[in-house]
Amino acid sequence: MASFVVFCLISVISINYASALTADEISFFKSRTHEEGNSGLQGTVSVETFSETLVLKSNGIPDHDTGLFDGNPNSIDAQTYEFTVKKDPTHATSSSCTPMGPIGMAVNGVAIFNPYTSECCDAGMEEFDLLDQCHGHPSPRNAYHYHIAPICLGNICANPSQILGVAFDGFPIYGPFDEDGNFLTRAELDECGGMETRNGEYRYHVTDEFPYIIGCFKGDVIDENVLRRMQGVCTCTEVKEPCTQFGDRKKRQIQKRAVDSALEILCSQTVTVAPTTTAPETTTTRRRTRRPRGRRS
């Protein structure tokens, strides 16, 4: 009887702490056929499966329209991304901060950055007018990336949500709806921006609120390049208040109202779909084109 109880406890622990990407989730990692306008390149992305790890590779080129970035000294160039994550991620003893640079990868191979500017301000609010229509922009290393919800992914508003990417602790990143079809708010998620499903599988969810995608790593990071950027104290662990990086407070208030409702408005106008086992190729949502200006992180 005692051995049976121990077996059950081990089974429960495994269910609660293992959230390996399924074959269906991995099938979403692909780049739609699209020549990116700034670089003239086609995006590439792949996931290689090994016994204990997954290796994520991409050139970081988005598979959707991008902004013109007039006045921005940064451009969009191909990257040589290769990141290793646990195949069966587990919760760390304590959560860890997210460093500058890539902290996850979207299903189209584009890097996901943390929610901070170079001076620890709220990137979603402070840089909203400097992002393109798909919520991305290039870094000083010419790497196109997302700080907030990547709204041009074809399945961003699928309800219930589908996978949008993976964090570098191995846990998946899902859209703004839970498994029952409820639109999530920040208050319903933990400190890192995630929650467990009824089956005990942990996943992050994008929201309209800071930290937007990932606030901290819930699991163990094993990639050496990411760990190197996490050594010591992360550059930013909380939002700098007041933020003086961009001046104009009135403009920031307007941008906060915009970012606070962007995802909810988009998904309320988009027909919801049942989950499928493959990523949709296109989206019919029409979006306004913006021309970002200025150097950004």
pLDDT for residue 148 is more than 70? yes
In a domain, residue 188? The reply is yes
Neighbours of 38 (CB within 10 A): 18
Q: What is the number of domains present in the chain?
A: 1
**CB distance 243 to 255 below 8 Å:** no
pLDDT for residue 258 is more than 80? no
pTM value?
Answer: 0.84
Which 8-state DSSP code applies to residue 273? -
Name residue 104's beta-bridge partners. Answer: 112, 167
In a domain, residue 232? The reply is yes
The per-residue pLDDT for 290 is 40
In a domain, residue 293? The reply is no
pLDDT for residue 65 is more than 90? yes
The per-residue pLDDT for 241 is 84
In a domain, residue 242? The reply is yes
> What would the pLDDT profile of 5-56 be if each residue is shown by its tens digit?
443 443 333 334 456 899 999 999 999 999 999 999 999 999 999 999 999 9
Residue whose C-alpha is closest to residue 123's, from 285, 292, 256: 256
In a domain, residue 229? The reply is yes
- Structural domain of 63: 2-268
The per-residue pLDDT for 246 is 67
- pLDDT-based confidence at residue 257 (cuts at 50, 70, 90): low
Q: What gap in Å lies between CA 4 and CA 2, rounded to an integer?
A: 5
Mean pLDDT of 237-260: 70
In a domain, residue 221? The reply is yes
In a domain, residue 277? The reply is no
Residue-wise DSSP of 120-171 = S-BHHHHTGGGS-TTSEEE-TT--EEESS--TTSTTTT-SS--EEEEETTS-
> What would the pLDDT profile of 169-219 be if each residue is shown by its tens digit?
999 999 999 999 999 999 999 999 999 999 999 999 999 999 999 999 999
Residue whose C-alpha is closest to residue 217's, from 65, 90, 30: 90
Token pair recorded at residue 99: 């460093």
In a domain, residue 289? The reply is no
